[in-house]
Amino acid sequence: MYKVFVNDKPLFLTNKVQKEVNFQIFLLESIDIKKLIVKMFQNKIEKAFLYHPDEKLIMKTLKAKIPVVKAGGGLVYNEKGEVLFIFRNGKWDLPKGGTEKNETIEETAMREVEEETGVSGLSVVKKLEKTYHVFKRNGHYKLKQTYWFEMKSTFKGLPKGQEDEGIEKVEWVEPERIPELLENSYENIKLLFEKENV
């Protein structure tokens, strides 16, 4: 099963039908995905399931219905075990951004972390899960597929937010403060910490 966030509301892609009453279920094959997304952005639908019988084809079927943008991002630890967070658009987030031509997704993630935070001395520790969310740009809905990497940094200076990206603050956060920040973050960011058990 995949979770795609639309305006921070979950859209579950599944090949199993469960007995529940508080959500709507649609056939992925025949759904008008734009109409569903609009209803979720308008808060008319809180959560929904998209059903497709073949698990291997679920994401491929969705991607055929909506343009996909690839991004890379980092869950970055410093030598003290603190995690790098950015504050933008009124929420705590992790640094990430879109791919550029002839770049591997790992290179994208490392470049974006450095550009958005000023933090260098990065190395990838391991690949984390991908997250998915729908956003609107220039009147069109797109699916952002973000590849996440756990990274470590030997950076000793002060991080600095990329102003033209609207980043107001960059902070190294002690693990015990992370749950507090996640209360004002995005659902797909929370997913990464559930997996990490931070």
Q: Can you give the pLDDT at residue 19?
A: 66
| Same domain flag for 173 and 80 | yes
Q: Which distant-in-sequence residues (6+ apart) come within 8 Å of 66 by Cβ?
A: 33, 34, 37, 134, 141, 142, 143
Do 163 and 93 fall within a single domain?
A: yes
Question: 121 in the Ramachandran plot: left (φ > 0), alpha (ψ -120 to 50) or beta?
Answer: left
Residues 78 and 176 placed together within one structural domain of the fold: yes
Which of 37, 63, 89 is the last residue before a domain boundary?
Answer: 63
Residues 72 and 46 placed together within one structural domain of the fold: no
Q: In this structure, are 151 and 100 located in the same domain? A: yes
Q: What's 137's domain CATH number?
A: 3.90.79.10
What does the pLDDT read at residue 133? 95
As a whole number, mean pLDDT of residues 62-75 equals: 96
Q: Tokens 């033209």 identify what position? A: 164
Q: Are residues 21 and 93 in the same domain?
A: no
Instruction: Write out pLDDT tens, residues 107-162.
Output: 999 999 999 999 999 999 999 999 999 999 899 999 999 999 999 999 999 999 99
Exposure string for 26-57, b = 16+ CB within 10 A, e = fewer: bebeebebeebbeebbeeebeebbbbbeeeee
Residue 17 pLDDT level (bands cut at 50, 70, 90) = confident
**Helices (runs of H) and strands (runs of E) counted in the chain:** 5, 11
Mean pLDDT of 161-177: 95
Average of per-residue pLDDT values in the chain: 93
pLDDT of residue 25: 87
Extract the tokens encoding 69.
């943008």
pLDDT of 198:
43
* Per-residue pLDDT at 16 exceeds 50: yes
Domain ranges, residue 192: 68-196
> Is residue 195's pLDDT more than 70?
no
Q: Are both 149 and 79 inside the same structural domain? A: yes
Contact 35, 42 (CB under 8 A): no
- From 17, 47, 63, the end of a domain falls on 63
Looking at the DSSP bridge assignments, the partners of residue 126 are 150
What is the model's pTM? 0.91
For the chain, the domain total comes to 2
Q: Cα dihedral angle (184, 190, 192, 197), rounded to 10 degrees?
A: 100
Q: How long a stretch of residues is the chain?
A: 198
Residue 184: helix, strand or coil by DSSP? coil
**Judgement on whether residues 12 and 98 belong to the same structural domain of the protein:** no
Residues pairing with 53 in the sheet: none
Residues 34 and 98 grouped into a single domain: no
Of 28, 46, 63, the position where a domain reaches its end is 63
Per-residue pLDDT for 103 more than 50?
Answer: yes
Using pLDDT thresholds of 50, 70 and 90, give the confidence band for residue 21: low
